[in-house]
């Protein structure tokens, strides 16, 4: 009995070691796949469409001559769905074929809109680095009284499709930004930041009123007191 128990334990340890080894081997798969999706423009195409797209529809918009592009893109999108980076829906066409279409998830922004009550009290929302405007599209659809200003670099804005209630504006946030009641900043990176990670952008101090600036940082960054509390617990 002891030998059987020892054998079972050894087998379990082997299985755990194998599982861990496979995790290490495949650790780079998601970031590398996500990088390809971003560089090829798959996520931008889905965002710009405003709806779900199949791999074939995305391939057609890429205007590639690679005959293997569609199945490769399908595998990329399925992997991103498995990590909940994208969503999917299935349907059947006239020939009885199963068609899978892929779309964006909006988990973070949905949570922001559920948790933050201030959208009821503002008229103009500026999204700095808003890309193709998908975030503002969600906001103005839920709050039709809001005018959205999607602000990003000119070459990004040139690819943005028309969105009712949203104005696309090209520029550089380090030079000047459009004025608004609420400023959104997502995933801002760079060396110009204060001790708590909030970006120090001269145009914000110059062009934005104190209330708008405060709301943007309150949404995206912890208060100094909370940051110190977290730091002291590490």
Tens digit of each residue's pLDDT (9 = 90 or more) over 136-163: 888 999 999 999 999 988 988 887 888 8
Q: Are residues 139 and 41 in the same domain?
A: no
96 shares its domain with 162? no
At residue 215, does pLDDT exceed 50?
Answer: no
In a domain, 233, yes or no: no
pLDDT digits 0-9 by tens, 67-99: 899 999 999 999 998 888 888 888 888 888 888
Tell whether 98 and 124 lie within a shared domain.
no
Question: Is residue 2 domain-resident?
Answer: no
Q: How far, in Å, CA of 174 to CA of 215, rounded?
A: 19
144 and 85 together in one domain: no
Q: Verify that 129 and 115 share a domain, yes or no.
A: yes
pLDDT band at 106 (very low <50, low <70, confident <90, very high): confident
Domain hosting 51: range is: 8-104
Q: Which of 49, 71, 104 represents a domain boundary (last residue)?
A: 104
The tally of CA atoms less than 13 A away on the side-chain side of residue 130 is 33
Residue 136: C-alpha distances to residues 123, 204, 217, 232 (Å): 13, 19, 17, 36
- Measured over the CA atoms of residue 45, residue 48, residue 53 and residue 58, the dihedral's sign is negative
Q: Is the dihedral of CA 40, 43, 45, 48 positive or negative?
A: negative
CA 120 to chain centre: 24
Alpha helices in 147-234 (DSSP H): 154-157, 202-207, 210-220, 224-233
**Do 99 and 12 share a structural domain?**
yes
pLDDT at residue 211 in the model: 38
Whether residues 95 and 113 fall in one domain: no
Give the residue from 57, 80, 104 where a domain finishes. Answer: 104
Establish if 3 belongs to a structural domain. Answer: no
Q: What is the mean pLDDT of the chain?
A: 77
Query: Is there a domain that residue 173 lies in?
Result: yes
Question: In terms of domains, do 84 and 187 share one?
Answer: no
**Percent residues over pLDDT 90 in the chain:** 20
Q: Using CB atoms within 10 A of its CB, is residue 171 exposed (0-12), middle (13-18) or buried (19+)?
A: middle
**In what helix (H) or strand (E) does residue 10 lie, and over which residues does it extend?**
helix 2-25
pTM of the model: 0.55
Confidence of residue 232 (pLDDT cuts 50, 70, 90): low
**CA–CA separation, 7 vs 13, rounded Å?**
10
């Amino acid at each position: 009995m002891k030998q059987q128990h020892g054998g079972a334990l050894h087998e379990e340890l082997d299985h755990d070691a194998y599982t861990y080894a496979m995790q290490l081997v495949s650790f780079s798969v998601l970031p590398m796949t996500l990088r390809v999706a971003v560089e090829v423009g798959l996520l931008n195409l889905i965002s710009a469409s405003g709806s779900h797209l199949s791999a074939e529809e995305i391939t057609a918009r890429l205007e590639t001559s690679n005959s293997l592009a569609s199945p490769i893109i399908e595998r990329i999108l399925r992997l991103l769905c498995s990590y909940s980076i994208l969503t999917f829906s299935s349907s059947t066409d006239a020939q009885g074929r199963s068609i899978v279409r892929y779309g964006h998830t909006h988990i973070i922004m949905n949570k922001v809109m559920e948790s933050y009550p201030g959208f009821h009290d503002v008229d103009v929302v500026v999204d700095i680095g808003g890309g193709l405007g998908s975030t503002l599209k969600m906001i103005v659809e839920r709050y039709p009284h809001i005018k959205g200003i999607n602000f990003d670099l000119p070459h990004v804005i040139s690819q943005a499709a028309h969105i009712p209630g949203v104005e696309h504006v090209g520029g550089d946030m380090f030079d000047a930004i459009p004025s608004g009641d609420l400023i959104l900043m997502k995933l801002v990176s760079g060396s110009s930041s204060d001790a708590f990670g909030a970006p120090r952008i001269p145009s914000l101090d110059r062009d934005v009123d104190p209330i708008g600036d405060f709301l943007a940082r309150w949404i995206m960054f912890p208060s100094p007191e909370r940051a110190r509390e977290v730091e002291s617990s590490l």
